[in-house]
Chains A and B, each alone.
Chain A
Amino acid sequence: MGVQDGNVVGMTKIVDHGDPSVRWNLVILSEGYQSSQLDQFHNDAQNFVTRMYQTAPYDELWCGINVYRIDVSSTDSGAADPMGCGGTGYAPHTYFDATFCGDGTIQRLLTVNDGTVHDVVNAQLPHANMILVIVNSTEYGGSGGSVATFSLADGADEIALHEMGHTAFGFADEYDYYQGCGIDIGHNNYTGGEPGQPNITTVTDRSTIKWNNLIAGTTAMPTMSNPDCTQCNNGPNPVPADTVGAFEGAGYYHCGLYRGQYACRMRALGNPYCGVCQQVIRRMLAPYMVSWTYGTNTIGAGQTQDWWLWWPTYPGFEAIGVQVATPGNELQTENPGIQQNSDGSTTYFISVVNPGGGDVEFHFRGTAL
């Protein structure tokens, strides 16, 4: 069982955009690959990287992402397949103890010992932001949590992209049932508070909804209501597929919670991330994109300086701010603003305030989208 059944062979950076301290770091580990099968794992990891690169918005954020592959060999190949779920009874010796039927009842629930996975990742790359385990089996399966696990079956990589939404970006599920439509009891009407997750809401007011910047003035709010709160809201989309608005039915409830777009990978596998989820991913990965210094200046005690930055597109930056040149000095910023100009360009504003008692040198910086 476990770590006696294999070896951590080593780590290889397979997408290299720089030092891990300034990038978002994805780690992919092998499970159920014998030493002689690790070349196959290299292909399987590369296939996932290609899939991720082709998935919006990761394509446009790629320069902020590193991917590391950790080769872990196992004595035996594949994953356990318990007879309790109708499996073959195969019980291989593997490093992370991968097993279908991970809860004892559901065959497709493919789980690993996540404690062992974290032990390996903590030792190899403590900068890791997201951890995936590829299990060497062609049977469909996977699971989520702090470690996302998926097999080599067609379409199982969708599980990893969905789970990355939860683990790395804090997304809620956008489906409007728990165990299934027509099965659930107590999932008709959501009566709780506003969810903290960025992709579901109780709010249908276009001016205060979390993703109001993505909603066109011509889009009805709510965009799609559920006519029967005892059922899932499975009616046809009343608007073009890329419309962002408020669609009733999300977060395990038929009514009272809204999602931003009719379809999303967080609602059903095989869809793109919706516009709302894509915006969150862009904002969360923006700090890992290359950042530049646009100016360096000194500000006197008690003074305020107004700074602006022009950029030819809208929006051009996800973050602007100031960095003191000498650690320990303190500055504050006020009135940050973004103005979209009529020619399609953007002007950013920010006021720098020095509340202290001496001159402070600082850099004015921006992080490109």
Chain B
Amino acid sequence: MSTPYLPLPVPVRRLTFAYEGDQVRLVSEQHVNMILPPSDPPELLERQAGFRVILRNERGELVYGRVLSNPFQFDREVFDRDPEHSIRREPNPSPRGTFVVLVPALDNARRLEFFGHPLKPKAHLEPQRRLASFTLQPTAKR
């Protein structure tokens, strides 16, 4: 059985994070009603490679997750007008920045986790792990 995905606005947490190196902290949380994509399939979130954001309930079960481009900029994309060399990556000597994650404000969501390759340049082949974990405050009943 599947839960029907309906393209309708839902309560969403807009979470702003700041990081320096591999240290990340939650800076702010806003609540907004908007449409979100459905959760990626659990087998993709648990097994495949790459950065993902995962919401878990109090029993640790996955309740929502998305594969995202890694927002931790341990390398920078460099562009050039030369069509033969228009894009490349360069390691970032001082990774720091701010990013936003949008997740549904689910009543049963207790933790938000970042999962993926280690936070350093050229880590694409290294074993994946939990990168950070945050306790979510219960959302006020609407």
Contacts and interface: CB of A to CB of B under 8 A. Distances in A.
A252 B124 contact: yes
A289 B50 CA distance: 29
Given A103-B93, A269-B79, A287-B35, A321 B5 contact: yes
Chain A interface residue bracket vs B? 35 or more
A104 B91 CA distance: 12
A103 B4 contact: no
B40 to A, nearest CB: 7
A323 interface: yes
Interface string A97-138: 000001111101100001101100010001111000000000
A330 to B, nearest CB: 9
Contact of A142 (B37, B79, B85, B100): B79
A288 B37 CA distance: 10
B43 to A, nearest CB: 10
A333 B69 CA distance: 31
Nearest to B3: A332
B77 A322 contact: no
A331 interface: yes
Interface string B57-77: 000000000111101010111
A106 B77 CA distance: 11
B71 A146 contact: yes
B89 interface: yes
A181 to B, nearest CB: 9
Contact of A21 (B3, B35, B76): B35
A115 B6 contact: no
A291 interface: yes
Contact of B92 (A103, A142, A332): A103
Nearest to A162: B87
A144 B80 contact: no
B137 interface: no
Contacts of A269: 79, 83, 86-87
B28 interface: yes
A127 B8 contact: no
Contacts of B5: 287, 319, 321
B18 A170 contact: no
A352 to B, nearest CB: 9
Contact of A167 (B69, B79, B90): B69
B98 interface: yes
A221 interface: no
Interface residues of B, number: 59
A235 interface: no
B4 A166 contact: no
B87 A175 contact: yes
Contacts of B100: 118, 122, 128, 146
B133 interface: no
A179 B7 contact: no
B110 to A, nearest CB: 21
Task: Identify whether the interface residues of B are mostly helix, strand, loop, or mixed.
Answer: mixed
A178 B88 contact: yes
B99 interface: yes
A180 B50 CA distance: 22
A22 interface: yes
Contacts of B73: 145
Contacts of B89: 173, 178-179, 252
B83 A268 contact: yes
A101 to B, nearest CB: 11
A317 to B, nearest CB: 11
Contacts of B35: 21-24, 287-288
B98 A178 contact: no
Contacts of A114: 97-99
A66 to B, nearest CB: 11
A122 B32 CA distance: 11
B71 to A, nearest CB: 5
A4 B86 CA distance: 36
B7 A367 contact: yes
Nearest to A169: B69
A56 to B, nearest CB: 19
A302 to B, nearest CB: 14
Nearest to B10: A21
18 contacts: A109-B76, A109-B78, A122-B14, A122-B30, A126-B32, A146-B71, A170-B67, A172-B69, A178-B122, A180-B88, A192-B125, A197-B67, A284-B37, A287-B7, A287-B37, A323-B4, A332-B4, A365-B6
Given A166-B69, A268-B86, 19 more contacts: A21-B9, A22-B8, A22-B34, A22-B35, A103-B90, A122-B100, A146-B99, A154-B81, A162-B87, A170-B68, A173-B89, A175-B87, A196-B40, A196-B44, A197-B50, A197-B69, A286-B7, A287-B7, A322-B4
